[in-house]
Structure 1
Amino acid sequence: MTDAPIADRRSTLRTHHGDTFDDPYEWLREKDSPEVIAHLEAENAHTDAELAHLAELRETLFQEIKGRVQETDLSVPTRRGAWWYYSRTEEGAQYGIHCRTAAVADDWTPPVLEPGVAVPGEVVLLDGNIEADGHDFFSLGAFDTSDDGALLLWSTDFEGDELYTVRVRDLRTGETLPDEIPDTGSAFFTPDGTGILYTTRDDAWRPDTLWLHRVGTPMSSDVQLFHEADEKFWLGAGITRSRRYLVIALGSSVTSEEHLVDLTGDLTATPMVVWPRREGVEYSLDHAIVDGEDRLLILHNDEALDFELVSVAASDPQGERRVVLPHEPGRRLLGMDAFRDFATIEYRREGLERVGLLDYTTDAVDDIAFDEPLYSAGVSGNPEWHSPFLRVGYTSFVTPGTVYELDLASRELVLRKQVAVLGGYDPQDYGQRRAWATASDGTQVPISLVWKRSFGEPGTQPRPVHLYGYGSYEHSIDPGFSVARLSELDRGVVFAVAHVRGGGEMGRQWYEDGKLLQKRNTFTDFVACGRHLVDGGVTTPELLVAEGGSAGGLLMGAVANLAPELFAGILAAVPFVDALTTILDPSLPLTVIEWDEWGDPLHGADVYEYMKSYSPYENIRDGVAYPRILAVTSLNDTRVLYVEPAKWVAALRVAGASDVLLKCEMVAGHGGVSGRYNSWKERAFELAWLLDTVGLAGD
């Protein structure tokens, strides 16, 4: 054991609603302070020293992950206009290469591309490895081609702060044009390719303004098309698949407002509001042509908790609403995409995603059927208004990512590609099922389990369990395949997901029951899931490791305080563990937007008191035997600042936690390191710690 860094205690008083909190580690917020950087580097050095004995295991895990991945590979080409677009990877290269090849006019069957075989007529649009050269971090943001295929725009971030610089290339000549737009969010071409629409952010990192840049003109002449002044609302924009409307989407966590600009007219005209914002009403839309009439299909929750779908005239969106799919409790409508002859509907029932086709004439929905009991499916990669095929992505805990195309004439699913898993992977060697835990208030909470069958059915004898959770923003942790996870499953670990309240797995009410002044349900649900696995003989506290990231990191901090005796270890990635301090400060990135999720403790004494009762940093218990803890963060993260886990770790140590480590990436953002090999090494680092915690480091 090496001596852990002990941060200085420096009094910083925070007083709200008559309550004063003395924060001894708030000084660590000074990101540019050499003293703070030195402390973070000392934490990294301590972590490296403490985990040096796992170096060989980390390398083994990295090689296992790498060895299962077909490093030279290609995506299924997607047709847009006269071209097939695809990306490919090459062995030894960190980043993808974006390409295209010409399409035959009436051929909608994607060409079959073989890894390592030259593609006839290939045009390399962008090589991420060239873009990243000379940079420690690289993230590709926007990537778009003009409708005629003549121009490319792309944006890059080299810091991890999610501020991107847009550039433009003439694909006819290969020339990179002088146009350069820094500090952007999203960006895309106007349909005629003469303009670029892009968003910028305010000082709190909130996307708030939409701009129009004319290609070939100076940025100083860019036109502001829309500005959202309300600091609780973010702004997004896009163009309907029909290419008829520009949609400007404004939203908080609980309220929406969308505006339209008819692209057959003046792009700079005043946008038309579809439905004026009303607190608590969310909606999204797409453009369809039904019986020759321009209609808007609108998915909304106005007096419809799990949402309903209506149709309105595009010329009069606030006029008569025709109900297409009525509200049906237990069927949570998630999304809708309009095509020329039909729309797709994505919804959730009984905790699973489902996809159906909506007939414009009858309003009937024809579901796409899949065989596995646990799976994820969604519509993706369908840019064209009309095509004889509909592309669908599919995966499960045991089925690698799969691309199907639904033949719209025969309604047959055609397999286009399944991600190759090298080394003799057989999905029949692994099992998956769902269990149910009883929460403290009697609610039944689903748990997904996946395991290797050769170790026996979970529950026949206690085994190491890796329990993952999130539980915020109505975000669902759906079944999905992971190559890296095989390294733990093959060593006898059972992977489990606790689908706790605050997520969206069981419908909108599931989310409502795990937010604001009911947030504690998220934490107690997770504890109930852990205890269910222990009581059912699946595992023991000595073999149970929990993991969560971002808002799931808040969950990790909370359960460490609530039930430290239940876990052998807790892995917290970019954890939101100083929640109250952050949500009290509207000057911090995205704080005001977050008030709809957590409440407003700055102006509400009841919210302040409630958040203070669970915020992990402020509820650390002196003298308690905490489990092993590994906190992973990034210096340039703008969503959950590095200071939160830094303060948390410092306070845990002083309270007597005997094995708590902090790993801070000094050049990265919220998503961690960039580059696939770097990401695999990062995951190998975390898995080695996890396996060591449950006594499998030698296996």
Structure 2
Amino acid sequence: MWFNLLALFFVLAACSISAPVAEKIPHDVTLCNDKRIDEYYWMRERDNPKVIAHLEAENAYTKAMIAHTDKLREEMFQEMKARVKETDLSVPVFHGGYYYYQRDEAGKQYKVNCRKKGSLDAPEEILLDQNKLAEGHEYFSLGMFVVSPDHQLAAYSVDMKGDERYTLSVKEFASGKVYDDTIENAGDLVWANDNRTFYYSLVDDVFRPYKVFRHRLGKTEDELIHHETDERFWLSLKKTRSQRFVLLGAGTFTSSECHIIDANDPEAKARCFLPREENHEYEIEHHGDHLYIRTNLGAINFKLMRAPLGNWPKERWETVLPHRDDALLESVDFFEKYMVIHERANANQIMRVREIASGKDHAVQFPENVFSYSVAKNPEFGSTTFRVNYTSLVTPDSVFDYDIVNRKLELKKEQEIVGGYDRAKYTTERILGKAWDGAEVPISLVYRKDRFKKDGGNPCILDGYGSYGYANDPSFSNARLSLLDRGYVYALAHTRGGSDMGRQWYEDGKMMRKRNTFTDFIACAEKLIADKYTTNKKLGIWSGSAGGLLIGFCVNERPELFGAAVAAVPFVDVLTTMADETIPLTAAEWDQWGNPNKQEHYWYMKSYSPYDNVKKQAYPPMLVTAGLNDPRVMYWEPAKWVARMRAMKTDDNVLLFHVNMGAGHFGQSGRYGELMERALRFTFFVDHLGTR
């Protein structure tokens, strides 16, 4: 009785609060002779008190409108937290005579980096306590943590605002001393083998790694190794597993160039392996007397070549792994006697191991048909075991060691679900949606068996992404159990724009074929409804960042198809953002979306840009989020989008906008902060889609 009265009070209170109405100040953003007026352009002025006041008003409105779900949100948060093993330990990684690991402590947000010498029974040495570094800061993120070759030092970087501006420091383990060698705006870092020299990249005003320097501990002036003047190219650094070379890469989404530096010589010059060429992507690794080249030269799904060390013109290249039409060669890991080959086909990952001397290979058999894995840390070049992180929609995150010689997988650890988890209660399926052009789009599903009936009565959340070639791989979510146990079906759409089905799948969902990503997603939604996994009133959609573009298109194009939508840090103002080279990522991403300064690109991009296609129509209930310090998708994109939808939509459904005023693209930091954001999202869906 009292609970019902309290809920009624919150509803009545919310009804008395009006949604923020943003002021309209016309601003001309005409491009390609197409006159466009952006009435909310002023929201870009972050230092304008009016902007901050508007964002705070949005937060206050959201807080009031979700007040009636506070009890449910806290309940879901506590459920998720209760399933987390708060004091836990990662699987130790043996490297250079030490066992390295991280551990979590109950009640603490961040991890502690530790090691033991020689044996797991040895005393623990704390290398870096992230909780102490985070003290006094609303946000904290550890970027890199790179141990020197002699295992006496570590270079690490931290971000205290969520703006992805990292500060690099060097710590000496024995004394605990932190050197004065502090570097702002640091990117990648690789140690040279003398343990006193390292290479690092520096990011510019638009967050592009554009310079690589050589730094010697104790020296105040660093040596510039490479300055990338082409704004489309981003620099990267890595070290070969053989420890012989430092690799300095320069790349776009369609072209790459690699420079080689002798890691044994702290004075070595960088040598260019192959100058950049349009539409040629390659990367190299070292083994013995050869450099191995993964290249798309005449091979859309890539192939593996090799060339003699020190004498590597193209005419000296020879084929090691030929191109396959049916599988994408994603990467290759090299060890002293073996190479581990990673491929992708039919929305599944494939791992093969080849003996380098004989050329014989075999496939690794994983325990499920639908799963995903990622390469874990494998620092020992002479190792005959290979470690992977493994998961599926019903299998908690696991660590496997693969014994290459005996061809056996050994489970080292499976994520413990506190309170118990019976995977037999849950099941997965894979079905196919049919796109407008006949393409079959895979959909991966998970649900709880005893809460599901194929009669349209279950609420369902459809998750998609489909950009940059990133596959939407199936993985376990401890938090997601709070939805599955309430009768939800969770669906992953493997749309074009990702590489789920190979490189061509990616190519068919970018640039002048970008709309395929969105129509594929709609086809998946229609399939779920047609096959009675759910109904349109019970179907929710969610994604973030470039996936927010997907959500934005769908609610503009087919609003009646969805019962609720959540867009996290969504990229929605495509034309204005891609025309502004002062914004991070813009120039580099012309190879993904197009350059709106070109007529053909402009009109195609305008046809799907969510902000430019808001209509006078009914929209489903929506929750949109942003981070004030986000350097990837600026807060003003979702802010403007919400304002324009509010001004034009014809329904009474809620449109909520939550801005994290102290975080960036990845939301709140810390494991509990992440769970709170999930609880907000999940509660919104339950509030509008119900349960079963």
Q: TM-score range by the shorter chain?
A: over 0.9
Map 1:126-165 onto structure 2 (within 5 A).
126-165=128-167
Secondary structure, counterpart of 1:13 in structure 2: coil
Is the counterpart of residue 661 in structure 1 residue 676 in structure 2? Answer: no
Partner of 2:442: 446
Asked if residue 40 in structure 1 is aligned to residue 55 in structure 2, the reply is: yes
Native 8 Å contact 1:281 1:301 kept in 2 = yes
- Of residues 632, 639, 653 in structure 2, which corresponds to 1:639? 632
**Deviation for aligned residue 1:268:** 4.1
Distance, in Å, in 2 between the alignment partners of 1:517 and 1:405 is 43
Secondary structure in structure 2 of the residue aligned to 1:273: strand
* Deviation of 1:51 (Å): 0.3
Which of these residues, 45, 48, 52, is aligned with residue 67 of structure 2?
52
> What per-residue deviation string (whole Å, max 9, x for no partner) do you get for residues 658-690 of structure 1?
321110000111111101111111111111011
Work out whether residues 143 and 159 of structure 2, in 8 Å CA contact, stay in contact via their aligned partners in 1: yes
Runs of 4+ in 1 over 4 A off after TM superposition: none
Residue by residue over 1:123-168, the C-alpha shift from the partner in whole angstroms, topping out at 9 and shown as x without a partner, is 0001111000000000001101111111122111001111111111
Residues 216-295 of structure 1 mapped to structure 2, 5 A cutoff: 216-218=218-220, 221-269=221-269, 271-289=270-288, 294-295=289-290
The one of 371, 374, 381 aligned to 2:370:
374
Gapped regions of structure 1 (runs ≥ 5): 105-110, 112-118
- Aligned residue for 2:605? 611
Is residue 309 of structure 1 aligned with residue 311 of structure 2? no
SS at match of 1:186: strand
- Whole-angstrom distance in 2 between the partners of 1:629 and 1:309: 46
CA–CA separation in structure 1 for the residues paired with 2:165 and 2:372: 31
**Shift in Å at residue 275 of structure 1?**
1.9
Instruction: Kindly provide the amino acid, as one letter, of the partner of residue 250 in structure 1.
Output: A
Q: Determine the structure 2 residue equivalent to 1:455.
A: 451
Q: For residues 541 and 341 of structure 2, what CA distance do their matches in structure 1 show? A: 34
Aligned-pair CA distance for 1:371: 2.7
Contact 1:403 1:417 in 2 (8 A): yes
CA contact (8 A) 2:98 2:118 kept: yes
- Cα deviation 1:425-449 (Å, max 9, x = unaligned): 0111110010001111111111010
Residue 592 of structure 2 aligns with which residue?
597
- The Cα shift of 1:409 comes to 2.6
- Structure 1 distance, partners of 2:553, 2:312, is 45
Mapping for residues 409-448 of structure 1, pairs under 5 Å: 409-448=405-444
Aligned with 1:414: secondary structure? Answer: strand
One-letter amino acid matched to 2:669:
S
- State the TM-score, normalized to the length of structure 1: 0.95
Does residue 1:396 correspond to 2:392, yes or no?
A: yes
* 8 A Cα contact 1:162 1:185, kept in partner: no
Give identity over the alignment, percent: 43
Q: Match of 1:73, as an amino acid?
A: D
Cα distance change, pair 189–475 in 1 and its aligned pair in 2 (3 A): same
Given the alignment of the two structures, is residue 651 of structure 1 paired with residue 624 of structure 2, yes or no? no
Residue 526 (1) aligns with residue 528 (2): no
In the aligned structure 2, how far is the partner of 1:73 from the partner of 1:265?
41
| CA contact 1:354–1:378 (8 Å) conserved in 2 | no
| Correspondence 1:556 to 2:551 | yes
Aligned with residue 5 of structure 1, among 1, 5, 20:
20
Say whether residues 1:171 and 2:173 are aligned partners. Answer: yes
Question: Structure 1: how far apart are the matches of 2:359 and 2:646?
Answer: 60
Query: Does residue 587 of the first structure (1) align with residue 586 of the second (2)?
Result: no
Worse-matched range after superposition: 460-469 or 473-482? 460-469
User: Which whole-Å CA distance do the structure 1 matches of 2:403 and 2:430 have between them?
Assistant: 32
Conserved 8 A contact 1:653-1:660: yes
Q: Which residue of 2 aligns with 1:628?
A: 621
Q: Specify the code of the residue in structure 1 equivalent to 2:624.
A: A
Give the whole-Å Cα distance in 2 for the aligned partners of 1:191 and 1:479. 39
Give yes or no for contact 2:353–2:404 (8 Å, CA) kept in 1: no
Q: Distance in 2 between matches of 1:642 and 1:49?
A: 21
Distance 2:405 2:606 in 1: 58
Q: How does 1:182-221 map to 2 (within 5 A)?
A: 182-218=184-220, 221=221
Residue aligning to 1:573? 568
Deviates more, 1:432-441 or 1:188-197: 188-197
Q: d(CA) in 2 for partners of 1:365 and 1:25?
A: 59
How far has the Cα of 1:39 moved from its partner? 0.4
Structure-2 separation of matches of 1:62 and 1:263: 48
Pick aligned residue for 1:495 from 490, 497, 504: 490
Q: Which moved more, 1:187-196 or 1:338-347?
A: 187-196
- Corresponding residue for 1:107? none
The DSSP-based 3-state class of the residue aligned with 2:305 is strand
Aligned residues: 674
Conserved? CA contact 1:143–1:188, under 8 Å: no
* Match in the other structure for 1:86: 101
The residue type equivalent to 1:641 in the other structure is M
Structure 2: 5+ residue stretches without partners = 1-14
Q: 1:491 & 1:169 partners in 2: Cα distance? A: 48
Q: Report the AA paired with residue 530 of structure 1.
A: A
CA contact (8 A) 1:346 1:378 kept: no
| 403-412 vs 337-346, which moves further | 403-412
User: Following the alignment from structure 2 to structure 1, what is the Cα–Cα distance between the partners of residues 29 and 416?
Assistant: 54
CA distance in 2, matches of 1:262, 1:155: 25
| Amino acid of the structure 2 residue aligned with 1:609 | W
Query: 1:671 and 2:666 equivalent?
Result: yes
Shift of 1:278: 1.1
Q: Displacement of 1:424 after TM fit?
A: 1.8
Letter in 2 for 1:673: Q
* Paired AA for residue 265 in structure 1: D
8 A contact 1:209–1:226 mirrored in 2: yes
Checking the alignment, whether the CA contact within 8 Å between 1:199 and 1:208 is kept in structure 2 is yes
CA distance in 2, matches of 1:628, 1:363: 57
Letter in 1 for 2:192: T
For the residue of structure 2 that corresponds to 1:436, the secondary structure is strand
How far apart are 1:261 and its partner, in Å? 1.1
8 Å Cα contact 2:194/2:264 also seen in 1: no
Alpha-carbon distance in 2 for matches of 1:437, 1:165: 46
